[in-house]
Amino acid sequence: MNKKDNVLIIGVGLCGSLLALRLAQRGFKVEVYESRPDLRKVDISAGRSINLALSDRGLKALRLCGMEEKAREICIPMYGRLMHDKQGNTFSSNYSGREGEYINSISRGDLNALLLNEAEKHENVTIHFNKKCKKVDIENTTAYFKDTETNEDFSEKATVIFGADGAGSALRKSYISERKFLFSYSQNYLNHGYKELEIPADKNGNHQISKGHLHIWPRGDFMLIALPNMDGSFTVTLFLSYDEGEFNFNNLTSEEKITEFFQKEFPDALVLIPNILEEFTNNPTGPLGTVKCSPWSYQNNLLLGDAAHAIVPFYGQGMNASFEDVFVLDEILNHFERSREIESWETVFKAYQKTRKKDTDAIADLAIDNFFEMRDHVANPLFKEKRKIEMDLEKHFPNQYFSKYSLVTFNEHIGYQEAMNKGRAQDKALLNLIADDEVHTHLNMTKDELEIILEKVNKQTEEILQEDKIAGL
Ligand code: FAD
């Protein structure tokens, strides 16, 4: 492995663009091939995932590449969830009881454009748009492309190939089709899909509902969420079953039925979405799935980001995890550089997966858990009481108590797996204590009262973690 190696990256979405930038900063010669046109010149959003929640793990990776400040300039902080019931009443639930812990709404396109601009400042990076990878000869690290403008086919040989080409990865498909090694692969779809709609800005260009929150309309089997944009609008996402329940994507086919659904379930949102019928009919319905596979690498080929581990979006961590992939890979490269071991890309990739896979498996499972939490539990009284105690504990014991959400979202120095194990045990402990009437809350808890709760939670959490260890969980 040396700096003269030709690095080829397939896909210049969020992960591919950050990877290209980091490898260029490390001095490698990087060629990137992207199937779509340059999003800085052509609008390619086509009604899909317009904004995203960026949080500390993603910011950590952006910081590594000197991009944190530029990204923060286009972020809108969201301090908590604002739940909307059917009567139009709202209640809020902060993401953290600590000061300065929040997530950020950011435009996918603008963030991607920032990273592309920065990557292209390096003369050792070339980005080729409209070049769709058809397959990869993984033994000869040769990728085969079609130029989508000219229809011409061509191939490129490289020293090393990274597949950052998203959930439908061509490199991953080549792992399967080439049958050169034992490749385990699973793709699990939810019965729910998603569709994006828009709450436009008011006539003065301002947000019509609080821009400091991620809005949720939880309805048990389905939900609506909304994240703010810089131009005063909100991107609204409906998560709904394709074919189950009274209303589903398959039967919402007439204007009457769409209006009836929104009037019945989301009346306060409906009045804010003037183009509901047009948008509902024209915007695509996207599937939601989890991809797990192993190994991620074969010889000098490696899958990164959604190509290796696509997850459902309910923890707001898919992009963050994909950015963190770049951070972890960078750490592995540093490790080999420091130890002066004779390293090959193959060795680096194996070490990377060994460190990383347990964490991406964990966030995939956590994201499914959060699907149920967001669409249903957030409105449950027991859940609300638990969150109230957690906020108080975080406020009064900021260095001692971290809720599961905080461990996953704001504790970027620990892996997702550790966050999951500790967070799940803590949740169980707290819910047991509430259900057994062992902890009580009231509006103004004193620090002494909270300290007793903290001790009980910590003790039970430890016991649960020990039991899990014995059970091999
Ligand atoms: P992608 O963003 O999919 O990029 C892959 C790139 O490869 C694309 O540019 C594509 O055009 C290109 N490509 C694909 N195939 C080929 C080919 N054959 N040849 C060449 N190029 C190719 N994550 C969060 O962290 N926070 C959120 O709030 C959040 N919300 C989400 C909401 C929704 C509805 C969805 C669906 C996802 C959400 N995510 C969120 C997840 C996030 O979008 C992904 O995890 C992230 O985009 C992964 O980045 P990636 O670069 O690996 O893949």
Residue 138 Cα to ligand 1 midpoint, Å, equals 23
pLDDT of residue 335: 93
pLDDT score for 398: 96
Asked if residues 172 and 298 have their Cβ atoms less than 8 Å apart, the reply is: no
Please give the pLDDT value at position 341. 67
Q: Mean pLDDT, to the nearest integer, of 144-165?
A: 98
Amino acid identity of residue 61, one-letter, is A
Report, as an integer, the average pLDDT of 62-70: 98
Ligand 1 centroid – CA 436 distance (Å): 44
Q: Are 392 and 450 within 8 A, CB to CB?
A: yes
Using the predicted structure, report yes or no on whether residue 48 has a pLDDT greater than 60.
no
> What is the Cα–Cα distance from 412 to 408, expressed in whole angstroms?
7
How far, in Å, CA of 208 to CA of 328, rounded? 40
Give the full edge-to-edge strand order of the sheet including 76-78. 51-54, 103-107, 76-78
Is residue 74 pLDDT above 80, yes or no?
yes
Total count of residues recorded for the chain: 473
| DSSP string across 258-300 | HHHHHHHH-HHHHTT-TTHHHHHHHSPPEEEEEEEEE-SEETT
Average pLDDT score over residue span 296-300 = 98
CB 45 within 8 A of CB 109: yes
* pLDDT reading at 136 higher than 60: yes
Q: Is the pLDDT of residue 49 over 70?
A: no
* Alpha helices in 340-446, H assignment, sequence order: 345-375, 381-396, 404-409, 416-435
pLDDT higher than 70, residue 473: no
Span from the CA of 306 to the centroid of ligand 1 (angstroms): 6
pLDDT reported for residue 469: 82
Contact 325/378 with Cβ under 8 angstroms?
no
Specify the pLDDT at position 385: 87
Average pLDDT over residues 48-64: 92
Question: Does residue 382 have a pLDDT over 60?
Answer: yes
- Partnered with residue 134 across adjacent β-strands are none
Which residues have C-beta within 8 Å of that of residue 229, sequence separation ≥ 6?
50, 51, 76, 105, 107, 235
Contact between 20 and 30 under an 8 Å Cβ cutoff? The reply is: yes
Does the pLDDT value for residue 46 go beyond 60? no
Across the chain, mean pLDDT equals: 94
If you average pLDDT over residues 312-319, what whole number do you get? 97
Calculate how far, in angstroms, residue 10's C-alpha sits from the geometric centre of ligand 1: 13
Per-residue confidence (pLDDT) for residue 134, from 0 to 100: 98
- pLDDT, greater one: 227 or 443: 227
Position in ligand 1 atom list of the atom nearest CA 321: 25
Q: Tell me, what's the pLDDT at 440? A: 78
CA diameter of the chain: 72
CB 295 within 8 A of CB 200: no
Q: What is the pLDDT of residue 342?
A: 63
pLDDT single digits (tens) 393-431: 999 999 999 999 999 999 999 999 999 999 999 999 999
The reported pLDDT for the residue numbered 402 is 97
The CATH fold assigned to 6-74+106-187+288-373 is FAD/NAD(P)-binding domain (3.50.50)
Q: Which residues line ligand 1 (CB under 6 A)?
A: 10-16, 33-36, 49, 52-53, 132-133, 164-166, 168, 170, 194, 237, 286, 305-307, 313, 316-320, 322
| Span 188-206, average pLDDT | 96
Task: Check: CB of residue 131 under 8 Å from CB of residue 116.
Answer: no
How far lies 380's CA from each of 315, 372, 383, 426, 439, in Å? Answer: 19, 11, 5, 18, 18
**Residue 188 pairs with which residues in a beta bridge?**
290
Torsion angles phi and psi, residue 135, rounded to 5: -165, 170
Q: Per-residue confidence at 337, pLDDT binned at 50, 70, 90?
A: confident
Q: What pLDDT does residue 110 have?
A: 96
Q: Where do the structural domains in the chain lie, given as residue ranges?
A: 6-74+106-187+288-373, 190-286, 380-470
pLDDT surpasses 70 at 378: no
**Backbone CA torsion sign across 205, 210, 214, 220:** negative
pLDDT class of 75 with cuts at 50, 70, 90 = very high
Question: What is the reported pLDDT for 296?
Answer: 98
Residue from 111, 229, 322, 374 whose mutation best tests the ligand 1 pocket (most atoms within 8 A of CB): 322
Ligand 1 atom with the smallest distance to the CA of 323 is 49
* pLDDT level of residue 339 (50, 70, 90 thresholds): confident
Residue 52 CA: which ligand 1 atom is closest? 28
Region of poorest pLDDT, from 40-49, 240-249, 283-292, 343-352: 40-49
pLDDT in the model for residue 444: 80
- What is the pLDDT averaged over residues 141-159? 98
Residue 439's pLDDT is what? 85
For residue 373, which of 107, 57, 95 has the smallest C-alpha distance? 95
Phi, psi angle pair for 115, to nearest 5°? -70, -35
